[in-house]
Amino acid sequence: MDYKEQIGAIDEMLRSIPKTMQSEEKKFLSKTGSAIKSNVVKFLHRSGIESRLDIDPKNYDGSRPYVHIKDDVRFTVKKNKQGDLYVSVKGGKYTGYKWGFLNDGHIARDGHTFVPGTKFMERALQSSQGDINNAIYEIMKKVVQ
């Protein structure tokens, strides 16, 4: 009789895991997004464009002050069409389009020189692995208990 009660308790615990996971998912993704964002900012550098120009630089739409890519990193937790949550780390309105050029490299304005990319996204994701693993461990610990 005693083993049937224990099996029933284990069975009930296993049934409650998906519900608990679902309630903790958004917190987990927020922690993950925050860790990735901080590492992206760590691997970006300031261009120093203000010191190279005689006039104040402008954003692509002509607005001022100039927004650096390092200051315009954001993360959001969203749902896709299927209802699954995911985290998105990206640049803002003024710098989002620059991420690909800076990460992968581009041809300079002279049309011949290749400017190598910094690979800041790959390095940030690699540096975030420890934080992500810790967050997974914490969420699994909460769910199982």
- What pLDDT, on the 0 to 100 scale, is given for residue 76? 95
- What does the pLDDT look like over 36-89, one tens digit per residue? 999 999 999 888 788 888 888 998 899 989 899 999 999 999 999 998 899 999
Cα torsion 103, 105, 106, 109 to 10°: value is 90
- What does the pLDDT look like over 6-20, one tens digit per residue? 777 777 777 777 777
Structural domain of 103? 2-144
Please report which confidence band the pLDDT of residue 122 belongs to, taking 50, 70 and 90 as the band edges: very high
Please give the model's pTM, rounded to 2 decimal places: 0.80
Number of domains in the chain: 1
For the chain, the DSSP string reads -HHHHHHHHHHHHHHHHHHHHHHHHHHHHHHHHHHHHHHHHHH-----HHHH-SS----TTS-SSPPPGGG-EEEEEEE-TTS-EEEEEEE-TTTGGGHHHHHHEEE-TTSS-EEE---HHHHHHHHHHHHHHHHHHHHHHHHH-
Q: Which two tokens stand for residue 47?
A: 């261009």
- What pLDDT, on the 0 to 100 scale, is given for residue 1? 52
